[in-house]
Chains A and B, each alone.
Chain A
Amino acid sequence: DAGITQSPRYKITETGRQVTLMCHQTWSHSYMFWYRQDLGHGLRLIYYSAAADITDKGEVPDGYVVSRSKTENFPLTLESATRSQTSVYFCASSDRAGGRKDTQYFGPGTRLTVL
């Protein structure tokens, strides 16, 4: 069974530091997504990517940067971490947009604490 992995699973950092969260999927899915999960907000989309070298903003992109040089990887960087970015971050992927293959599969999450 192929998978989607995230690293690290837990991270504590300080305000102002740069942090990169990694996401890797083995399905060769075209689409990849980054969400943050906060109590009372559910999941909110930060960025998504339709293919290698194609990325676009979601609902809450401010303070985050993404890149996708390879289909299987989609790192998320917090350029200068703030306390409001303390959250659980989920990466997801899907094969297609639309149709029966439009189902997102999620990684295990990264719990980030910014002190």
Chain B
Amino acid sequence: AQSVAQPEDQVNVAEGNPLTVKCTYSVSGNPYLFWYVQYPNRGLQFLLKYITGDNLVKGSYGFEAEFNKSQTSFHLKKPSALVSDSALYFCAVRLNSGGYQKVTFGTGTKLQVIP
């Protein structure tokens, strides 16, 4: 069975500092990996995804994520945090295989950027 772990329920970072939101995954094969962001009372918005190729994926709003196969991780990063980045972040994984494959979401990490 596939799974996603987001080990931190909450991450606090000062505005202007770099941020990292951690994600590790387990899947029986090659993964597709996703990051989504959820603002209060809104649906999830797609940020970025890894399918294959370059391990560093760039996404929306200046976010990027690094795929590390040996550590089975896909941490989300941003060089300089903004107060407006405060939100709930979800990592997700699915098997890189043909046809429909179930997507498994992590439990989410709340990012708080302190002015």
Chain A residues engaging chain B, CB cutoff 8 angstroms? 4, 31, 35, 40-43, 45, 48, 50, 58, 90, 92, 97-100, 102-109
Contact = CB atoms under 8 A, between A and B. Distances in A.
> Is the contact region of chain B dominated by helix, strand, or loop, or is it mixed?
loop
Contact of B108 (A4, A42, A100, A104): A42
A97 B106 contact: no
Given A42-B107, A48-B100, 10 more contacts: A42-B90, A42-B108, A90-B43, A90-B44, A98-B100, A103-B34, A104-B103, A105-B46, A107-B43, A109-B43
Contact of B32 (A50, A92, A102, A107): A102
27 contacts: A40-B107, A42-B90, A42-B108, A43-B90, A45-B102, A45-B103, A48-B100, A90-B44, A92-B43, A97-B99, A98-B96, A98-B97, A98-B99, A98-B100, A98-B101, A99-B51, A100-B51, A102-B32, A102-B94, A103-B49, A104-B44, A104-B103, A105-B46, A106-B36, A106-B45, A107-B43, A108-B41
Q: How large is the interface on B (under 10, 10 to 19, 20 to 34, 35 or more residues)?
A: 20 to 34
Most buried by B among A100, A102, A107: A102
A37 to B, nearest CB: 9
A49 B91 CA distance: 22
A45 B102 CA distance: 9
Interface of B: 32, 34, 36, 41-46, 49, 51, 90, 94, 96-103, 105-108
Contacts of A45: 102-103
B32 A106 contact: no
Contacts of B42: 108-109
B36 to A, nearest CB: 8
A109 B43 CA distance: 6
